[in-house]
Structure 1
């Protein structure tokens, strides 16, 4: 018969393992479940469903709005802000991933605004927003690829996964005792579609397949890129 102390130890170990497993699992946020802060006519942001797959997504309909200094570093209007409420399994630091589709305009269709922290923020306060830009040149589509950097890219009008820290975004901190947070995005360039966001615990690595299916990631980092042995070949007429 097992004594109480070893039994309590095993129970504690089990719950600790379950908690770790829960925090390694991604938190999935469907983009179309958000709420536009102040709807306008015509809309700057639309919510659509892809007929062939049933995929719901957000589409940026109105192009960027420049501020009084001719800049475009914040949404500038409540009609261009989408708000979400998201509950996390535990406190910690999380990385943000997005499944997005860059339109036929390529680098003219590939940016939006991210907050620099959780919470509600003024639409025109540039200090509370960051520009997530350059998506046309990155992203991952291969199921086994680990979404860990900018990515190899892909064709316009195809869904890709992006780790947003590689495109101007940062990490998000969830404090203990406050697991439900407000997350906001802002529209910038029209022609960009967003299917969903995923928050994954920092230090956990996710493949495209993991993110597609909401599966737990791995704490094992991806292998470094292969470097062929031997001296580095230099172009003609070049020196170190």
Structure 2
């Protein structure tokens, strides 16, 4: 899905061709004065600048990392900033740089004067001539793409006064592998396509108005949550739609401790605090996995690896004492930390496969049970389960061994688009098999694709209507988490997003709201976090996945010995 020139004519209030002075001013990155750590390279007819040795932090730190440009404008005014960038093959290790948030020469160590542009490997930016360069985008890595630069709150504007048409603009490298070709300053209040910027054509007056949802979250007052993965690209208007939070990448060990003993909690803090401030359940993703682990862990001997794993567990438990759900192991059937396929290799530190075939999983869960408070529900997570009888069997084998030691509280199933294209009957049957374990089930990473054709909305809507009710209506499913919902989610190319570049809801999202909000809850009473407040029954009643037992003609509460809330259990007449 993209905004083209023809679509723009409908979206904008005024879309008439402008005079030549309303073109963007384009300046080549390599035309400036380069610090000693900044180098130029070329391929074909494209030349670019990149940093030779990666830096870090939230400001350049040294003039060696800075490039100084001196654009000369033909007219005064306010300008928006665009950049043509290329993210290299290392993706999220090749995708950040700094740029000054105003004209001039800011102090290299003052983060208040610099913007850290990161996560450029995610879907953002535009490559096709007729694409409007907006805040989102669908281009990812290893392609030259135009990106509209912005802060988290709003796009920056750069002021050119009447008497100083030549300005100083600085940018700086941060990660090697990010190629910076050129910058463009477009007159504020005008929109530009790729073709208009690259060929010096006038922009189009007006900026498309963004949709502002009203909230509350779709599943508020429901006994099940409907949440989403959280990341910078998914943050805008999050709380208007979703009432559960899980960090997309920020909670992975490699994101937090990429450098040994140097912890980067900022993005994970943001997701956790969002949940805490809004009363949403929070799921920590993830302690143990094969991919996206620290690069240094595999070179240690097993005893040191185990010590580092315990340090990682301890650090998470100390910093986030109020976790609701904790993924201890992710994708044990497909992505163990065994050193294959570029995965981390520390499986032996956890006991290897052992007699059970999965001793390493049992060890990880024992460590988690010992480390985290009893209130934290421990989970396992896997993909390819509900569509496969054999994978369900293998998964249940692991789950059974965990249950034997009381090490697991919730079963996680991912349900990405490529997993749910098969028979609904098969998915239903395997859900029932998982439920026979007696454990609640959480759908942890759902997304449903559209298509790159004109019928994308229709295709996505039909698949949501086919797939989503299977899970939402299952009595043992306690909630569903979408793996992103805005452009920038990992399946942007497959058009799995639920709103367009300007936040307008696609038909699947409109249906999803109506469907979820029309679903019935317990006896017509609203439910919040598994508790219902009644005026004429028993007062405060727990109505979660357990321990209510249907006894043929009534519900019986089977109290947890640790439960002490008076008036919370008893007899409810059907």
TM over 0.5: yes
Aligned 8 A contact 1:30 1:196 in 2: yes
Q: Helix, strand or coil for the counterpart of 1:234?
A: helix
* TM-aligned CA distance change 1:235 to 1:195, over 3 Å: same
* TM-aligned CA distance change 1:79 to 1:58, over 3 Å: same
Q: TM-score, normalised by structure 2?
A: 0.34
Q: Measure how far apart 1:230 and its partner are.
A: 10
Aligned 8 A contact 1:75 1:123 in 2: yes
Q: Measure how far apart 1:136 and its partner are.
A: 1.2
Would you say 1:159 and 2:144 are equivalent positions?
A: yes
Of 158, 179, 188 in structure 1, the residue corresponding to residue 174 of structure 2 is 188
Of 75, 95, 104 in structure 2, the residue corresponding to residue 90 of structure 1 is 75
Residue 85 of structure 2: aligned partner: 100
Q: Measure how far apart 1:238 and its partner are.
A: 3.8
Deviation track 1:163-184 (CA, whole Å, cap 9, x = no partner) reads: 0026786211111111110000
Q: Measure how far apart 1:157 and its partner are.
A: 1.3
C-alpha distance in 2 between matches for 1:64 and 1:132 = 13
Residue 470 of structure 2: aligned partner: none
Residue 178 of structure 1: aligned partner: 164
C-alpha distance in 2 between matches for 1:230 and 1:56 = 43
Q: Measure how far apart 1:239 and its partner are.
A: 3.3
C-alpha distance in 1 between matches for 2:151 and 2:121 = 13
C-alpha distance in 1 between matches for 2:20 and 2:163 = 17
C-alpha distance in 1 between matches for 2:509 and 2:152 = 33
Aligned 8 A contact 1:150 1:167 in 2: no
Aligned 8 A contact 1:133 1:167 in 2: no
Q: Could you say which structure has the higher helix fraction?
A: 2
Of 31, 38, 43 in structure 2, the residue corresponding to residue 45 of structure 1 is 38
Would you say 1:61 and 2:339 are equivalent positions?
A: no
- Structure 2, unmatched stretches of 5+, are 1-17, 211-499, 519-574
Q: Measure how far apart 1:135 and its partner are.
A: 1.3
Q: How many residues align?
A: 207
The root-mean-square deviation of aligned C-alpha atoms, in Å, is 2.6
* TM-aligned CA distance change 1:167 to 1:139, over 3 Å: farther
Residue 33 of structure 2: aligned partner: 35
Q: Helix, strand or coil for the counterpart of 1:140?
A: coil
* TM-aligned CA distance change 1:93 to 1:236, over 3 Å: closer
C-alpha distance in 1 between matches for 2:147 and 2:205 = 19
**Deviates further, 159-168 or 126-135:** 159-168
* TM-aligned CA distance change 1:231 to 1:147, over 3 Å: closer
Q: Measure how far apart 1:152 and its partner are.
A: 1.6
Greater Cα radius of gyration, structure 1 or 2: 2
C-alpha distance in 2 between matches for 1:107 and 1:231 = 29
Residue 200 of structure 1: aligned partner: 186
Aligned 8 A contact 2:20 2:201 in 1: no
Of 115, 121, 135 in structure 1, the residue corresponding to residue 100 of structure 2 is 115
Q: Could you say which structure has the higher strand fraction?
A: 1
- Where relative contact order (Cα < 8 A, 6+ residues apart) is larger, the structure is 1
Q: Helix, strand or coil for the counterpart of 1:79?
A: helix
**Deviates further, 173-182 or 228-237:** 228-237
- Structure 1, unmatched stretches of 5+, are 1-19, 66-71
C-alpha distance in 2 between matches for 1:214 and 1:238 = 48
Q: Helix, strand or coil for the counterpart of 1:145?
A: coil
